Amino acid sequence: MARKIHTLGGYIHEYQRSILDPEAFWTQVADTFYWQKKWDKIVEWDFETPNINWFVNAKLNITENIFERFLYTKRNKPAIIWEPNDPNEPSITLTYWELYEKTCQFANALKANGVEKGDRVIIYMPMVPEAAIAMLACARIGAIHSVVFAGFSATSLADRINDCSAKMVLTSDGNFRGSKTIPVKKVVDEALENSSSIEKVIVLERTLTPVTMKPGRDIWWHEAIDGISSDNVAETMDSEDMLFILYTSGSTGKPKGVVHTCGGYMIYTYYTFKNVFQYSDDDIYWCTADIGWITGHSYIVYGPLLDGATTLMFEGIPTHPHPGRFWEIVDKYKVNQFYTAPTAIRALEAYGIDPVLPYKLDSLKVLGTVGEPINEEAWHWYHDHIGKGKCPIVDTWWQTETGSILISPLAGITPTKPAYATLPLPGVQPIIVDNDGKELKGNSVEGNLCIKFPWPSMLRTLYGDHDRCRQTYFSSFKGLYFTGDGVKRDEDGYYRILGRVDDVINVSGHRMGTAEVENAINEHPKVIESAVVGYPHPIKGQGIYAFAICDMSDRSEANLKNEIRVTVTNIIGPIAKPDLIQIVPGLPKTRSGKIMRRILRKIASGDSDNFGDTSTLLDPDVVDKIIADTDSAS
Ligand code: PRX
């Protein structure tokens, strides 16, 4: 298959070509796909509006490029290998042919239950093959899927259902997660008390957790497909029709529905998967993400399947039933490419190397990381103990909004450097600007990371709020897409991501808006006001530190903190629970009432000096009071 880069010289050549003649470059990549109708023009764009169209007027269906395209060459090749939460339960392998049949059958079941092209379908499911089948079946019939991470609460789920007026929810009776069973259908029932658009719920039987099935609304998955044919002709989609919506956090309270479209997303997830991981035809590739996040969309489902790869899906968690589980799975399936998050590496590193020792890990060729900056110590542990010093680590930088990896080494082809995402992929034109938007040229510079030219898998809009899309990403620096990340370009021209420069924190690789967590904390009746910041956490990368002004008249401090955590869990989910809460007498605010988070961030990271200019503070004494009491944070 075309366009795999094999050498450093090849990378340099392809990169140059992608910048100098994007039309020719993308034509060559896209020509290897099956289009029902080819494009009139490769790209039309304007970052002011913003208005971005790739493969203009082309017609396609992404699933035809996974299934029909491979049916002669890959029919019996494993597409998905599924490893269950419980190592004693049998695993499942679906070949390309089997996955095709199941996708088409479920696509027909969706249609039979009233789903039409353009309808929104929520997927709130465990990591089982049916979750991938659900995504592909939606894509097959042109329904827009929106996967919601199954750890989100009923309130968060309802918000997302309502935001996109979804017609259907796909879920399960329960989810296995380590030693726990989570009753997810119950969460759906609760969410649906506050949503009116849902007409049907299809429920997969997974844990045999008792559930209440609402007549007329709820159907079992096995009944929905019973007797349903697997003959299905793929819907014709315009290149710019929506493929999916994925909600992510921003610096304001309300989650944003990032919209990705069919043609461009298909091309760039494929291209980046192939080149970053250097996948070869007989390899077994494993990404440990959850399909509730963009990594699961692009690098468990779409990217690998578009490349005809074998992708492993794991239902469980890294430490169940023992902290060597990841390595056991690597040996069991002879995994060649392994892609995970720095937080998982640090969590496993904390167990020492004993859990690693029983495993050979000799099948591994490539290691990857994603989601947050990886510290050098974790990088070396991963490199030495898992990769045995012989596997390149691809530190892949990207975002929900970018759809695919933008800055990363190509495994074994371009150089790596601990803690650096290194170089942009072909088609990606990064630019660093200072806070006034002035370009910082040359090497050894640090500033805001922007991108100056479109790439095929970039977001097109935020669902139902195009102006918010413009404001969030395209208005900070004129004519540029602003990532929200700080970056350094070192003396060799390599990029190192320094973390968010906005009010977004990254906890265990999960993106969280501080405002979103504050809104949840403020729902507790005894909380008067709160401010949330991130602080360095040895495993999670960043932990959540909440400063809260509370009415303490009838609660002990410990009880109140527990109640606040329960409130946040109920409103968002356990991932947003503050690690530390400090009850404070006031918050550092400017005269105009804005909380000076810069000061709270310093305090939370244990730094009580050099607060810079505090002359605009309404009550400078409050800072000293907060510092004097940081030991009470718990
Ligand atoms: O701050 C960057 C960080 O994660 C943010 C994007 O989060 P999300 O949309 O949830 O997507 C995560 C998976 C792609 C970015 O703005 N980030 C992601 N990858 C890296 C990273 N920070 C440093 N190094 C990375 N490799």
Q: Compute the distance from residue 497 Cα to the ligand 1 centre, in Å.
A: 9
Distance CA 333, CA 390 (A): 19
Mutate to test the pocket of ligand 1, among 398, 503, 542 (most ligand atoms within 8 A of CB): 398
Q: Is the pLDDT at 609 greater than 70, yes or no?
A: yes
Residues in the chain: 634
What residues does 397 pair with on adjacent strands?
407
Nearest-atom number in ligand 1 for the CA of 499 is 1
Residues with Cβ < 8 Å from 183, sequence gap 6 or more?
173, 174, 209, 211
Closest CA to ligand 1's atom 21: 372
Q: Compute the distance from residue 399 Cα to the ligand 1 centre, in Å.
A: 5
Which pLDDT score, from 0 to 100, does residue 2 have?
Answer: 56
For domain 1-65+260-428+464-483, give the fold: Rossmann fold (3.40.50)
How far, in Å, are 504, 521, 588 from residue 564 at the CA level?
20, 6, 21
Three-state SS across 332-399? HHCCCEEEECHHHHHHHHCCCCCCCCCCCCCCCCEEEEECCCCCHHHHHHHHHHHCCCCCCEEEEECC
Which pLDDT score, from 0 to 100, does residue 598 have?
Answer: 86
Q: 296-300, 324-328, 534-538: which has the minimum mean pLDDT?
A: 534-538
Distance CA 157, CA 148 (A): 7
Question: Tell me: the pLDDT tens digits for 335-387?
Answer: 999 999 999 999 999 999 999 999 999 999 999 999 998 999 999 999 999 99
> Tokens 């929905």 sit at which residue?
224
Cα 629 versus chain centre, distance: 36
Distance CA 147, CA 145 (A): 6
Q: Is the pLDDT at 570 greater than 80, yes or no?
A: yes
Question: Tell me: the pLDDT tens digits for 394-437?
Answer: 999 999 999 999 999 999 999 999 999 999 999 999 999 999 99
Closest CA to ligand 1's atom 22: 372
Question: Tell me: the pLDDT tens digits for 512-534?
Answer: 999 899 999 999 999 999 999 99
> Tokens 């005894």 sit at which residue?
526
Cα 199 versus chain centre, distance: 28
Q: Do the strands 430-433 and 393-396 form a parallel or antiparallel pair, or are they unpaired?
A: unpaired
The mean pLDDT of 196-221, rounded to a whole number, is 98
CATH of 97-225 among 3.40.50.980, 3.40.50.1820, 3.30.460.10, 3.40.50.970: 3.40.50.980
Question: Tell me: the pLDDT tens digits for 66-98?
Answer: 999 998 899 999 999 999 999 999 999 999 999
Q: Compute the distance from residue 251 Cα to the ligand 1 centre, in Å.
A: 15
Mutate to test the pocket of ligand 1, among 300, 370, 379, 404 (most ligand atoms within 8 A of CB): 370
Domain map (residue ranges) of the chain: 1-65+260-428+464-483, 97-225, 501-632
Dihedral angle over CA of 269, 270, 275, 277, nearest 10:
80
Cα within 13 Å of Cα(321), Cβ side: 5
Among residues 279, 278, 271, 284, the alpha carbon closest in space to that of 311 is found at 284
Closest CA to ligand 1's atom 24: 373
Closest CA to ligand 1's atom 12: 371
Q: Is the pLDDT at 247 greater than 60, yes or no?
A: yes
Nearest-atom number in ligand 1 for the CA of 484 is 16
Q: Compute the distance from residue 481 Cα to the ligand 1 centre, in Å.
A: 15
Same fold flag, 97-225 and 501-632: no
Element (H, E) at 203: strand 200-204
**CATH class of the domain comprising 501-632:** alpha beta
Which pLDDT score, from 0 to 100, does residue 560 have?
Answer: 95
Contact 425, 406 (CB under 8 A): yes
Closest CA to ligand 1's atom 18: 371
Q: Is the pLDDT at 585 greater than 70, yes or no?
A: yes
pTM: 0.95
First to last CA, the chain: 55
User: 96-112 and 129-141 helices cross at what angle (nearest 10)?
Assistant: 60
Which pLDDT score, from 0 to 100, does residue 1 have?
Answer: 47
Contact 144, 120 (CB under 8 A): yes
